[in-house]
Chains A and B, each alone.
Chain A
Amino acid sequence: MVDRSPNAGASRRHLLGRGAALGVAGVAAGMAGAPLAARAQAEGGKLKEILDRGKLVVGTGSTNPPWHYEDENGALIGFDLDMAAYLARGLFGLDDAALDNPEELAKHLEIVTEASDARIPNLTSGKVDIVCQFMTVTPARALEVEFTIPYYREAVALLLPAGAEVTSAAELTGKAAKIAILENSFAEDLVHQGVADAEVSTFDSVANSILALDSGRVDATAIDLSTAQFKTAQSPDKYKVSSDSWSPQTYSFAVAPGDQRWLNWVNTCLHELMVGVDFAYYQKAFKNRFGVDLPPPPAGFPVEFM
């Protein structure tokens, strides 16, 4: 689940401990004091380092479907993994057969599973080349790492029973509905933004907030749009997603600051993935993980300037 506190990224933990300042200071010092040879290497930068190494090292999680999670055989899958594989494909010219073969792919793509709070430290310490882990873009985090262009727009939506009469949060408003949500600092506010008069029940896990819906304890569960889409794609006879959503946030990849060449390369990749030459790959992954058919971007005048 997403950290929705307003100072997400600069959490209290970070402010109190070794946090933002240290990470940034460390990098700056490294650049300033670097001898010429290392400086040349830095100009070759991350991109050259990865190509020489023959392997991309990606940080991600393992417990958040449909982003990154283990399937029945314990293999790590998800939308973030699809994106990581695409980056490896672009770096090392892999073909589709290689992408479908886990052993072949593993030669060029190393996955480091990390907790959410390890995302920034692992980047700044160079443990991973890039983080593909449903990372919410915030100004505070952007002080510590550099974000790529977005690859998903998250929001809060309602998971509804497939047979429910209502289809949206707006329709549920005014009916004194009971709504479940994962416990967090803004749980009640978050629900009330969508359904002003809802009676809120907070649960300690996403699983329990969904079970509350399954067992008829609540009329709807307020949840990340991506999770709602995923659950509905899995059991279309059981659930549907509300037609409206609110409280948007942006998911991007993150890289260590100070390497424009590497950042540009990833941005170009993502851009072409979503509206360019590899749109079919993105469309397939999106359908696969979120159960939604994306229409191709309008042709002719570039969508970016519309």
Chain B
Amino acid sequence: MERTLKVIADNLDLMASGLAITLVISLIVIVAGTVIGILGGVGLLFGPRWLRAILRAYVDILRGTPLLVQMFLIFYVLPEVGVEINGFQAVCVALSLFAGAHISEIVRGAVSAVPKGQFDAGRSLGLTFAPLMRNVVLPQALPTALPPWTNTAIEMVKATSLAYLLSVSDLLFRTQNIVERTGVAMPFYITAAIIYILVNAALSRFGLWLERRTRYAT
């Protein structure tokens, strides 16, 4: 037991460096996915016909295939067409596109739940499309969108673990290498699990905090 504790203590900084990568990827993916999702969701509802068709295909294809397959596709195929991409970049791109597809659908749903009258009211005030979205529609869609958005964010934190399959030294990669090197398995796996649980607990708190804040906004 004492020996095991020492092995864990010796390797904590390695796990911390893995956690740092996991957090960086999560942050990039959640931010990029949210931006894509807002544009995609609004485009799905109000875009011209051709744009709606493209976005619908994007959302359905990314939601209908495994994230892992998308990740490998990006990682292996882009270099074939002359785009050099490393594992870290491939993970960020794949996860962002995937998160974007899910958040598009969330935004679409939330925006279509905003009462029709609000659009008319905005237009009668002389608002053009962009200000109407920014100042009237999206703020009202926010409370509906936030709970599923938080869920998606948590799913993405967990999904960053796939980075390990492209040899990106995230938390899971570090954990697995430590397990292999030290021959101590369960204590490290459980430590990693607790770290993921804590990160996601923090994220879900953040989501609740956002929900409370936005409730006053409407």
Contact = CB atoms under 8 A, between A and B. Distances in A.
A35 interface: no
A211 B167 contact: no
A205 interface: yes
A207 interface: yes
Given A16-B80, A207-B176, A207-B177, A214 B183 contact: yes
A185 interface: no
Contacts of B2: none
A214 B180 contact: yes
A210 B180 contact: yes
A223 to B, nearest CB: 12
Interface size of B as a range? 10 to 19
B10 A211 contact: no
A17 B10 contact: no
Interface residue range, chain A: 10 to 19
Contact of A17 (B82, B176, B185): B82
B79 interface: yes
Interface string A207-227: 110110011000000000000
A235 B183 contact: yes
Interface in A277-304: none
Interface in A6-45: 12-13, 16-17
26 contacts: A12-B80, A13-B79, A13-B80, A16-B80, A16-B82, A17-B82, A72-B10, A204-B165, A205-B167, A205-B176, A207-B176, A207-B177, A207-B179, A207-B180, A207-B181, A208-B176, A208-B180, A210-B180, A211-B176, A211-B179, A211-B180, A214-B180, A214-B183, A215-B185, A235-B183, A238-B183
Interface of B: 10, 79-80, 82, 165, 167, 176-177, 179-181, 183, 185
